[in-house]
A and B are shown apart, each in its own frame.
Chain A
Amino acid sequence: MSTVHEVRLPSPIPPALLGDVRGKLAYVAEDVTSCEVSPQLDRITFRLKETPSLAADVVSQRILTIVGKMCGSYRGDAACTIVSHLDRSVPFRDDPHGPLASAGEILEYGPGRFGLGPLPLRLIELFESRFRELARTFDARPHQFPALIGARTLERCQYLRSFPHALTLVTHLREDLDAIQAFARDAAWADGGLRCDWSHLSPFQVLLSSAVCFHWYAWLADSRQPTPRAITATGKCFRYEASNMGGLERLWDFTMREIVFAGPAQHVLDARERAIVGARRLLDEWGLAYEISSATDPFFIDNFAQQTTIQSAFALKFEVRALLPYKAPATLAVASFNYHQNLFGRAFEIRDGGGAPIHTSCVGFGLERMAFAFLAQFGLDPDRWPEAVREGVDAR
């Protein structure tokens, strides 16, 4: 039987950080089956599974560590909203997961892993074609990148340090006849995982990529870029999110269309601004209820306070958040507009004509989330969709 325990916090969690803290509580310990923050934000109740390997006071201390690191140096919210159309009238109110599953339009293979049928795919193809058109207005050259990304590349991006909880590590069997034969003989599914001799596995040379743009920075590494450049690519992205993964809202494995800019600071900032204008035009055409507001990335706890403060202070990230009517006022991030300063220019030794590290920005559209948010607002019946979307889908 599970046991319930309570942690009293030294001070309440700032309301603006509640979502971030909740997200990180999923990583406290495998023995924890649930974690809930009290309405006053000053206590956290957690449930430990039967015969846990960790004592309750160890788990309590871990929770205090998470909250302390994330909230201890909180400086106040600097959120800003560029535009809000969250009050836009939309005709659908239900959770679309059930209808989509009943209609054979989605299948959940496991947490964060979904198959999609023709209806969501038609929407994705429409949205994707319009995002490609947007990319063409920047003369962004089309590229294709692998799903695998070198561990060294992610190390240079500081991704390993900033987002360790989100990594999906890749291995293969070592080139060793005995190891391969032993694996073929002994490997078996047991207790929710594939059991095998770990000594037969290779070191982690690659991971599943968490973003599209990192590949391009690695492509440009150790080069001079005297003139601004832009590329666009669609790619599979992988971000493990533990128990936070739920339905089509938060996938482990998703698809992103990115437009990436490199050049002087003002150039990439202007490009990001133009991309926001272009995205707004599309979202308005499709009739979505959304807002565009400042945001921060889900850094892990050690870097969280400092990195999110930097992002907020320098307006480095904006997100499109689409309304989810079935859990209003909740919203879902479906796109982001990011300015990285010269972080990647320095990390990958990419320099301008004068030898200074280049600046970069990127725009990312989450395609599954776009389709899901649309279906959550307009339902599965195309007759209830805005004309621009219905005709766009029919024309394809």
Chain B
Amino acid sequence: MESLARPEIESRVRDVIARTFHIDARAGGRDPRMGEPREWDSMGHMDLIVNLETEFSCRIPTHTIGVLTSVSEIVEFVASLPRKHA
């Protein structure tokens, strides 16, 4: 099945990160990643995972959670989901 377009995925991922950690995920500078901002710690990461699951109507398995620590990793994961997760 065809996947979502990456620019759209990235935009939605950044929105979820922004909502979760109350930051401007589109601002210049370094991309947000686990550890930056400070709120993106392991507990914050679980909040992000739940919010990503809601946004993309998916269930993220335990073994994948530890990999999704940057915008690019999350985008890669969402792009690999079947098309129904729009």
Contacts and interface: CB of A to CB of B under 8 A. Distances in A.
Partners in one complex: yes
Interface of A: 75-78, 306, 309-310, 312-315, 341-343, 346
Contacts of B59: 75
B23 interface: no
Interface stretch (B14-22, B24-32, B41-49, B73-81): B41-49
Contacts, number: 38
A315 B63 CA distance: 9
A80 B84 CA distance: 31
Nearest to B64: A313
Contacts of B61: 75-76, 78
A314 B66 contact: yes
A310 B42 contact: yes
Contacts of B65: 75, 309-310, 313-314
Given A75-B60, A342-B41, 5 more contacts: A75-B62, A306-B43, A310-B65, A312-B62, A343-B42
A309 B63 contact: no
25 contacts: A75-B59, A75-B60, A75-B61, A75-B65, A76-B61, A76-B62, A76-B63, A77-B62, A78-B61, A78-B62, A306-B43, A306-B46, A309-B62, A310-B42, A310-B46, A310-B65, A312-B63, A313-B62, A313-B63, A313-B64, A313-B66, A314-B66, A315-B66, A341-B42, A343-B42
Interface residues of B, number: 13
Closest A-B pairs by Cβ, 6 of them: A313-B65, A313-B66, A78-B62, A78-B63, A314-B66, A75-B62
B63 A310 contact: no
Nearest to B59: A75
Contacts of B46: 306, 309-310
A272 B11 CA distance: 38
A342 B64 CA distance: 21
A310 B65 CA distance: 8
A313 B68 CA distance: 10
Contacts of A77: 62
A299 to B, nearest CB: 12
A309 B48 CA distance: 13
Nearest to A158: B43
Nearest to B61: A76
B25 to A, nearest CB: 22
Contacts of A314: 42, 65-66
Nearest to B68: A313
A153 to B, nearest CB: 20
B20 to A, nearest CB: 15
Contacts of A310: 42-43, 45-46, 65
A112 B45 CA distance: 37
